Amino acid sequence: MEMPDNKSTAEVSHPRRQLLEVDDLAMHFSSGWGQRKIVVKAVDGISFVINEAETFGLVGESGCGKTTCGRAIVRLYDPTAGRVSFMGREISGPMNGELRSYITDNIAMVFQDPVESLNPRMTVEEIISEGLRVRGFTNKEEVRTKVLDMLDKVGLNEEHATRYPHEFSGGQRQRIGIARAIVVQPKLIIADEPVSALDVSIQAQVINLLNDLKRDMGLTIMFIAHDLSVVKYFSDRIGVMYYGKLVEIARSEDLYLNPVHPYTRSLLSAIPRPNPLSERARVRYAYDPNRDHDYSNHRPQMWELEKDHFVLLSEPEYQRYISAR
């Protein structure tokens, strides 16, 4: 089911350009020394691509590594292993000033907590214009025009420019965070749980805003969230993470209609739907990796079952799926 929207249908028929390519990215955190050393494999070898002008959703439960993945891409963390390329250029290599500004010019982040991610001592205008000033915009008039333009785009107005973050509600603060991210005209926005701290009605405002911006500005968005119904609504393609691994990547309709990995199925079956008629009759499917998989002889790997539909399966599981189809 495509959006009734010319732009997105046009994009589907064109061959898409890859914007971001993540190849076998790993991010391990270690603590302690010697015998007491503990290594947490927060992200453990994941690969995916994000095409230009698409929304890629990354979904999973808390602690599955989805946030770490986003942060490792923008180099808030230094990845343990793997390669990340942005428009063909590797951005996971040794850090220097030039690479840092290449990354920040092209990739912006929107954070989950709209309270903690805005400096309480800066006015909205200062917050939004900071990125411009860092990039050498000195003409005050020009900066101000751009800021007001951004405020207008995210549904705030001129009088808000001189206020401080604490004067705004949660939804408005998230709009400020979005304005700050898009003012430098990045190609990719990594939105890390941008709506999960908001009330439902406000959540809808912010999702509609992101959708409008995506359409009007041709943004590419990586959308990280734990709520599969929001991710499915918002994304073109979805990656499902479980304990540091991507277990399934598919177009969002395919993922919803034909989930293959047992974890994806359990996630879908666990979402409570606002429909009392179906809720009362529903059957939940519980995922237990020890029961559902036998990886002792066969290491799981990514298989492309159909076009754009990748699933992490071991070889016997793959054979079983193929013969059952």
Partner 1 sequence: MVGRELISLDYAKVALESEAVLEVKNLSLSFRTHGGIVQAVRHISFDLQKGETLAIVGESGSGKSVTTKAIMGILPGNASIDTGEILYGGLNLVQLKEAEYHKIRGKRIGLIFQDPLSALNPLMRIGDQITEVLYLALKMPSRQAKERALELMTAVGIPDAEQRFYQYPFQFSGGMRQRIVIAIAIASDPEILICDEPTTALDVTVQARILELINNIKRERNLSVIFITHDLGVVANMADRVAVMYAGKIVEIGTSEDIFLTPEHPYTWALLGSIPDLDSPKERLLSIPGTPPNMIYPPVGDAFALRNPYAMKIDAVAEPPMFQVSPTHYAATWRLHPKAPPTQMPEVLQARISRMKAGA
| Binding footprint of partner 1 on the chain (CB under 8 A) | 1, 3-4, 61-62, 169, 171-172, 199-205, 207-208, 211, 226-230, 232-234, 256, 266-282, 284, 286-287
What is the smallest separation between the CB atom of 320 and partner 1, expressed in angstroms?
24
Nearer residue to partner 1 within complex by CB, 12 or 322: 12
Residue whose structure tokens are 């540091």: 244
Nearer residue to partner 1 within complex by CB, 2 or 141: 2
Token couple for 209: 């805003």
What is the smallest separation between the CB atom of 164 and partner 1, expressed in angstroms?
17
Q: Is 82 left (phi over 0), alpha (psi -120 to 50) or beta?
A: left
**Which one-letter DSSP state was computed for residue 273?**
P
Q: CA 144, CA 142: separation in Å to the nearest integer?
A: 5
Token couple for 94: 């040794």
Q: What are phi and psi of 288, to 5 degrees?
A: -135, 105
Nearer residue to partner 1 within complex by CB, 140 or 282: 282
What's the Cα-to-Cα distance from 149 to each of 113, 136, 143, 146, rounded to whole Å? Answer: 24, 19, 10, 5
Nearer residue to partner 1 within complex by CB, 279 or 294: 279
What is the smallest separation between the CB atom of 270 and partner 1, expressed in angstroms?
4
Nearer residue to partner 1 within complex by CB, 48 or 242: 242
Cβ-based neighbours of 72, under 8 Å, separated by 6 or more: 25, 27, 43, 78, 79, 84, 92
What is the smallest separation between the CB atom of 56 and partner 1, expressed in angstroms?
16
What is the smallest separation between the CB atom of 308 and partner 1, expressed in angstroms?
18
Q: CA 83, CA 79: separation in Å to the nearest integer?
A: 9
What is the smallest separation between the CB atom of 28 and partner 1, expressed in angstroms?
22
Nearer residue to partner 1 within complex by CB, 86 or 242: 242
Q: What is the dihedral of CA 133, 139, 142, 145, to 10 degrees?
A: 70
